[in-house]
Amino acid sequence: MKKSSKTAIMYGVIIALSIGVVVTAVMVSKKPKITVEEESPSISVENQITFYEESTEEIDLSEIVVRARVIDDNVNVRTGPGTEAKRLGSAYYGNTFDYISQSSDGWTKIVYDGNDAYIYSEYVELVPMVLDVEGNYTEYLGADAPTQEEMAVWTGAVTEGDEENP
């Protein structure tokens, strides 16, 4: 290959590279600038957490209802006090029922599907509740909420078959 041919090829490569550099520079200059601003995002705690105000409304003690709340899972509900009584169904952790009484032999009498029924007392606790604005029972947690013992006396909890408690 002649020297003039090599020189011509070399000039062609230099021109092609120069054009490539110019085109790249023009394209870069036409792109919009991207600026990264380091600002901390404004996070409003009020938007993340919902606060429920404690009711300041006075509740008359006569509005408090004692209910039986199940504290175990899959508890048998029976027609009478005793494991030999017919099984009506099951109650689950957190279910609450209208409370009627507790007997000294360890059974709690409740209202289940509109009928009197029994749950073994070891699986329930007495809970003071009030009706909320939607008609649902809500546990009453006021400062004057009765204790388990007060609820037992208040409702006559241990009356059936207990000779010591009038």
CA distance 104 to 61: 27
Whole domain around residue 21: which residue ranges?
A: 1-32
Question: Using one digit for the tens of pLDDT, what is the confidence trace for 103-144?
Answer: 888 999 999 999 999 999 999 998 888 777 777 777 777 656
Query: Once rounded to an integer, what is the mean pLDDT over residues 47-51?
Result: 41
In this structure, the answer to whether residues 27 and 77 fall within a common structural domain is no
Nearest to 108 by CA among 69, 154, 150, 140: 69
Is 115 inside a domain boundary?
A: yes
Averaged pLDDT of the chain: 75
67, 138: one domain = yes
- As for how many domains the chain has, the answer is 2
Same domain, 66 and 137: yes
Of 149, 80, 144, which is closest to residue 118 (Cα–Cα)? 80
